Each structure stands twice: as C-alpha cells, then as structure tokens.
Amino acid sequence: MSAPATSPLDHPEVRQASAWRYIAGFITSMVLMQAALMVTLHQHLPYQEYVFTTGGLALVALLCQAALFFGLDISRAQIWKSVSLVLTIPLFILSVGLTVWMFQSLAQRTMIMPVTTVQPTLLE
C-alpha cells in the first residue's frame, strides 16, 4: 500500500500473482474442468450425484482461481476484493435458488409427460 505510485506492479493489490501461481492456477483449472467434462461425457453417475460432483468440481475450480490467479486472502491489500467476493454469495444463492425453485414449480405444472422422458430438476 505504501509503494511508490509510479510502478503499479509494486502494489500488492495490483500484482496479484506470480509466474508459478499463474501456471499452477492454469493447470489446476484445466484438470478440474477436464474432470467435470469426463464425468459429463461418461454418464456413469446417477443424476443427483452427477449434479453434486460437477457442482463440487466447479466450486473447487473457483476457489483455486480466486486463490492462485487473484491471490485473494485476508491481507490488508486484498481484503476489499475478498469481502466483495464473499458478499456476492448471498446474491448467488438468491438468484440461483429462486431460479431452481421456479423451474421446479414450472416442471411440475407444464411438463406433464411420462416420468421416464423428463429430465429431473435439481429439487427432485
């Protein structure tokens, strides 16, 4: 924070990661996304487990990217960004949660077809 203003990269809140962190973040993201793709393509898991597995992999990828690319932590330099990210969580739960609820309600009322032909919703 007290670094001179002339070189932005001297500021810890600007220079968010180092070369090894970028590489580690890239590799981790690739592995996790590849894993999610394989799970989706092979279709071995039941629907419920499939949703939780891919959702879990996405969450881990998000956390890895936040930590390795953006260097988010609770240090003085990064606390604003970390808090901002945490504050989006209620918003995320609100918008995704209400959407899931709405589609569940919609499916029950409009997708009146044999159960085997209908993809279950997240709440089923």
Question: What is the footprint of other proteins within residues 88-117 (CB under 8 A)?
Answer: 88, 91, 94-95, 98-99, 101-103, 105-106, 108-110
Query: Between residues 28 and 82, which has the closer beta carbon with respect to other proteins?
Result: 82
Q: What x-and-dash track marks residues 56-95 binding other proteins by CB under 8 A?
A: ------------------------x-------x--x--xx
Rounded to whole angstroms, the Cα distance separating 39 from 60 reads 15
Residue 4 is a binding residue for other proteins (CB under 8 A): yes
Burial of residue 50 (number of CB atoms within 10 Å: 0-12, 13-18, 19+): middle
Q: Are 15 and 21 in contact (CB under 8 A)?
A: no
Say how many residues make up the chain: 124
DSSP 10: G
Picking from 29, 92, 89, the residue whose alpha carbon sits closest to that of residue 61 is: 29
Task: Count the residues of the shown chain that bind other proteins, applying the rule CB under 8 A.
Answer: 19
- Residues lying near other proteins in the complex (CB under 8 A) are found at 4-6, 80, 88, 91, 94-95, 98-99, 101-103, 105-106, 108-110, 119
